[in-house]
């Protein structure tokens, strides 16, 4: 085999490796959420909406929401559809956890009952939407479980920053959920290693 043919085959092989690497490459979205008419950009859920022709298996790992010092910790948690959330009671008093609806659908309400310190109760969230967590015993307590359709999501920090990692290259719709603001959406192209975005959530 001539040297030119060897070089040509090597070039083709190298190109194929690069193409395959691009197909399997996991990228990320980094961004910042600004707010208008809302006191804080903290605890806003940001997630990739439904991906056409793509289904995701429910995650095996469970998420824990604690009840500590008469508060749900974290106040807002985002989970992929099908995730099991374990509600832990770390307070020396009994807590009752319930949600009157999921995104306004009262047919999806649920009451987990009351349990003492050190125990936890699991619940698998299979319905998309937001469950508003409440406690019958302590009406001042509130929290939220935001159930999203993909494993690509984050919750903003106190400055509105967020990162969503391990996203396959492609074009997606990014959405937000906020306790006090209106939902927003943004088309995002994640063909580069890092896509940087800015969103604004309004009252």
Domains in the chain: ranges and CATH = 27-54+154-203 (2.60.40.4130), 57-148 (2.60.40.420)
Contact 191, 29 (CB under 8 A): no
Answer whether 169's CB lies under 8 Å from 25's CB.
Answer: yes
Number of Cβ within 10 Å of residue 146's Cβ equals: 25
- Beta bridge partner(s), residue 172: 188
Euclidean distance between CA atoms 182 and 202, whole angstroms: 6
Rounded to whole angstroms, the Cα distance separating 89 from 124 reads: 18
Cα–Cα nearest to 130, from 33, 36, 43, 41: 43
**Do residues 173 and 187 touch, judged by C-beta distance below 8 A?**
yes
Residue with structure tokens 């690509």?
Answer: 152
List, edge to edge, every strand of the sheet that includes 120-125.
72-73, 63-67, 83-89, 120-125
Tens digits of residue pLDDT in 20-66: 444 456 899 999 999 999 999 999 999 999 998 899 999 999 999 99
Is 163 strand, coil or helix? Answer: strand
Confidence (pLDDT) at 198: 97
Look at residues 128, 127, 142 and name the one whose alpha carbon lies nearest to residue 180: 142
Q: Which residues contact 145 (CB under 8 A, 6 or more apart)?
A: 65, 77, 79, 85, 99, 125, 130, 131, 133
Q: Which two tokens stand for residue 117?
A: 């310190």
Backbone angles phi, psi at 53, to 5 degrees: 60, 25
Per-position pLDDT tens, the chain of length 203: 554 444 344 444 444 334 344 445 689 999 999 999 999 999 999 999 999 889 999 999 999 999 999 999 999 999 999 999 999 999 999 999 999 999 999 999 999 999 999 999 999 999 999 999 999 999 999 999 999 999 999 999 999 999 999 999 999 999 999 999 999 999 999 999 999 999 999 99
Asked whether 48 and 197 are in contact (CB, 8 A), the reply is no
């Amino acid at each position: 085999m001539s040297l030119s043919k060897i070089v040509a085959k090597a070039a083709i092989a190298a190109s194929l490796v690069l193409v395959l690497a691009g197909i399997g490459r996991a990228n990320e979205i980094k961004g910042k959420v600004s707010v208008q008419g809302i006191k804080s950009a903290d605890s806003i859920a940001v997630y990739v909406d439904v991906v056409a022709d793509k289904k995701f298996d429910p995650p095996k790992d469970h998420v824990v929401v604690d009840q500590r010092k008469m508060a749900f910790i974290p106040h807002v948690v985002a989970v992929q559809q099908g995730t099991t959330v374990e509600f832990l009671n770390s307070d020396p008093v009994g807590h009752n956890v319930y949600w009157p609806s999921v995104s306004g659908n009262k047919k999806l309400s649920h009451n987990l009952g009351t349990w003492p310190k050190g125990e936890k109760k699991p619940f698998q969230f299979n319905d998309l939407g937001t469950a508003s967590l409440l406690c019958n015993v302590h009406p001042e307590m509130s929290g939220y479980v935001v159930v999203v359709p993909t494993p690509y999501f984050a919750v903003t920090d106190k400055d509105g920053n967020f990162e969503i990692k391990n996203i396959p290259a492609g074009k997606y719709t990014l959405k937000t959920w906020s306790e006090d603001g209106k939902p927003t959406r943004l088309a995002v192209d994640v063909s580069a290693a890092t896509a940087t975005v800015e969103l604004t959530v309004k009252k």
